[in-house]
Amino acid sequence: QAKVAGKGCYRFYSKAMDQAVERRVQLEEELRGAWERGELSLHYQPIYRLADGRPMGAEALCRWEHPRLGVVPPSVFIEVAEQSGLIEALGRHVLVQACQDAATWQQPGLEPPFVSVNISPRQLRTGDLPDVVASALQSTGVMPQQLHLELTETAVLGDEAQASALLSRLRATGVKVWLDDFGTGFSGLSHLRRVPVDGVKIDRSFVADVLRDPDDLALTSAIIAMAHSLGITVVAEGIESEGQYAVLRERGCDQGQGFWLGRPMPANEMRRAFREASGE
């Protein structure tokens, strides 16, 4: 009986796996050339200074408008792009587009809003990232300080010495480096001393529970204290309520983003929002 069920299960899972692989291969095929066909675009989510609520910049988030499937979330297609190598070309397009959009946010006499771009582990490993970044800045006239690169903890884990060298090279050009989804990896706070970064983004899983779970509040406070002692900026992700905003501000968190503050929006809306915030 068990044997029969086991066999059935095996066949069931194997078929499901085949379908998953097939779907993946198909997505990969469809992702190829998607940028050129205009199916991919960038949305922007504003990032605010918590002390006074001023918008400081925005994170670029990629969207894929699939002709048949509708909007495919980045959590699905970035991984496909990463594993197939398509991320290298996609990442270059994203950097140039993000800089092009950020160039339109500048206003005379005001500090320009920054644009923060997600960089996947593979883009970091290929090694030509500093050149790709330099050429995006040059072709768009965006100042290096206006560009932030978001790397995940796991991307810089593994070969720390090599990652550190690359990050130092990038930071020497004036570009700022932030660690994304901070706190979810196993590297922990001690990592901050060895990897040279300008900022950390506290993962939204901590922010989500910051009012309910004393452990998450304690950890968040510890991250803020440790980062500040090293001169590192702290940004909170996923602020969904006024209460979360208030407690993070009270604990000294520098900046934040989240649905309560502002959802990701198309580039033209983001530009309008920056203009309105500066009082025209």
Residue 202: CB minimum distance to Mg ion, A = 9
> How many residues are present in the chain?
280
240 touches ligand C2E (CB under 6 A): yes
Interface region with ligand C2E, contact rule CB under 6 A, candidates 1-9, 29-37, 73-81, 189-197? 73-81
d(CA 159, CA 143) in angstroms, rounded, equals 29
CB atoms within 10 A of CB 100: 17
Based on the shown chain and the rule CB under 6 A, indicate whether residue 259 belongs to the binding site for ligand C2E. yes
Binding string, residues 123-142; x marks residues near ligand C2E by CB under 6 A: --------------------
- 39 forms part of the interface with ligand C2E (CB under 6 A): no
List the helix and strand counts (H, then E) for the chain.
12, 10
> Judged by CB under 6 A, does residue 155 bind ligand C2E?
no
Q: 134: Cβ–Cβ under 8 A, 6 or more apart, which residues? A: 173
Question: Measured from the CB of residue 280, what is the shortest distance to ligand C2E in angstroms?
Answer: 27
151 part of the interface to ligand C2E, by CB under 6 A: no
Is 146 a binding residue for Mg ion by CB under 5 A? The answer is: no
Ranges within 176-235 binding Mg ion (CB under 5 A): 180-181, 209, 213, 216
Give the three-state DSSP class for 165: helix
> Going by C-beta distance under 8 Å and a sequence separation of 6 or more, which residues neighbour residue 57?
46, 47, 113, 114, 115, 116, 146, 148
Which amino acid is residue 81, in one-letter code?
A: A
Q: Which two tokens stand for residue 56?
A: 């400081």
| Whole-number Å distance between alpha carbons of 121 and 152 | 8
- The residues that bridge with 47 in the sheet, in sequence order, are 57
Q: Reduce the DSSP state of residue 151 to 3 states and report it.
A: strand
Nearer to ligand C2E, 10 or 259 (CB): 259
Size of the site for ligand C2E (CB under 6 A): 23
CB of 13 to ligand C2E, least distance (A): 28
Query: How far is CA 197 from each of CA 48, 96, 170, 177, 224, rounded to the nearest angstrom?
Result: 20, 22, 10, 5, 14
- Residue 255 binding ligand C2E, by CB under 6 A: no
| Residue numbers 105-124 binding Mg ion by CB under 5 A | 118
Out of 34, 58, 62, 115, which residue is the one contacting ligand C2E (CB under 6 A)? Answer: 62
Shorter beta-carbon distance to Mg ion: residue 72 or 238 = 238
Binding site for ligand C2E (CB under 6 A): 45, 61-62, 73-75, 78, 94, 118-120, 150, 180-181, 204, 237-240, 257-259, 264
Where do contacts with Mg ion occur on this chain (CB under 5 A)? 118, 150, 180-181, 209, 213, 216, 237
